[in-house]
């Protein structure tokens, strides 16, 4: 099963992704974690990414796709994988589809956690108290991050609906309630 989990900042993607990956016995793949790991290990892609990031720029889709290609080529991905927060744009989704065709596979389902903005803001401000993350402690920054998600990533809903593999999940409630909803959705994928 090849899955994607998406949702705005504060929706609980990381928490639910860990559960899904464990439940399905597939690797949880975060492109952010992959970038940090490649940089730390000094790989060729990591060095390229570091140069781009050190210059204050965003890593290109091409570089991200190369990292993804490298990762899904590994043995632990043979029975599937879960992308956490990737793809983020329609161009990344197209590139991912093209890449997966080379592996004779495709995305089985995209699970989107849906949460009202005020709840997201409240969750992130609360998380900011514990995490010390500046981007979780400032309402204006949080609102901008949520806006960026809606402008760039939420459009993937339509993309995956056209492929009949979009599954919206109510992300409001206790963690185990949300997990239960995801289990129900996964039984339909």
Does residue 145 carry a catalytic annotation? yes
Does residue 13 carry a catalytic annotation? yes
- Cα dihedral: 35, 40, 42, 48 (round 10): 30
36, 40, 133, 139: the catalytic one is 133
13, 71, 123, 181: the catalytic one is 13
Cα–Cα distance for residue pair 30/48, rounded to 1 Å = 18
Does residue 133 carry a catalytic annotation? yes
Cα–Cα distance for residue pair 131/114, rounded to 1 Å = 23
Helices (H) and strands (E) in the chain, counts: 9, 5
**How far apart, in Å, are the Cα atoms of 176 and each of 85, 106, 156, 187?**
21, 29, 26, 17
Cα–Cα distance for residue pair 40/62, rounded to 1 Å = 20
Q: How many CA atoms lie within 13 A of 7 on its CB side?
A: 27
**How far apart, in Å, are the Cα atoms of 90 and each of 49, 69, 86, 136?**
21, 18, 10, 26
Contact 58, 52 (CB under 8 A): yes
Does residue 123 carry a catalytic annotation? no
Annotated catalytic residues are: 13, 88, 127, 133, 145
């Amino acid at each position: 099963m090849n899955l994607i989990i998406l949702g705005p900042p504060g929706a609980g993607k990381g928490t639910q992704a860990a559960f899904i990956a464990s439940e399905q016995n597939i690797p949880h793949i975060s492109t952010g974690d992959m970038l940090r790991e490649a940089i730390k290990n000094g790989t060729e892609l990591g060095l390229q990414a570091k140069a781009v990031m050190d210059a204050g720029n965003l890593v290109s889709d091409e570089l991200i796709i190369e990292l993804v290609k490298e990762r899904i080529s590994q043995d632990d991905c043979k029975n599937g994988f879960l992308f956490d927060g990737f793809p983020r744009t329609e161009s990344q989704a197209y590139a991912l589809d093209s890449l997966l065709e080379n592996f004779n596979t495709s995305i089985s389902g995209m699970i989107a956690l849906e949460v009202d903005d005020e709840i997201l803001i409240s969750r992130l401000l609360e998380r900011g108290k514990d995490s010390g993350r500046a981007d979780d402690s400032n309402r204006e920054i949080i609102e901008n991050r949520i806006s960026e998600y809606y402008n760039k990533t939420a459009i993937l809903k339509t993309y995956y609906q056209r492929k009949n593999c979009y599954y919206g999940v109510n992300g409001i409630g206790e963690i185990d309630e949300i997990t239960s909803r995801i289990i129900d959705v996964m039984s339909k994928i």
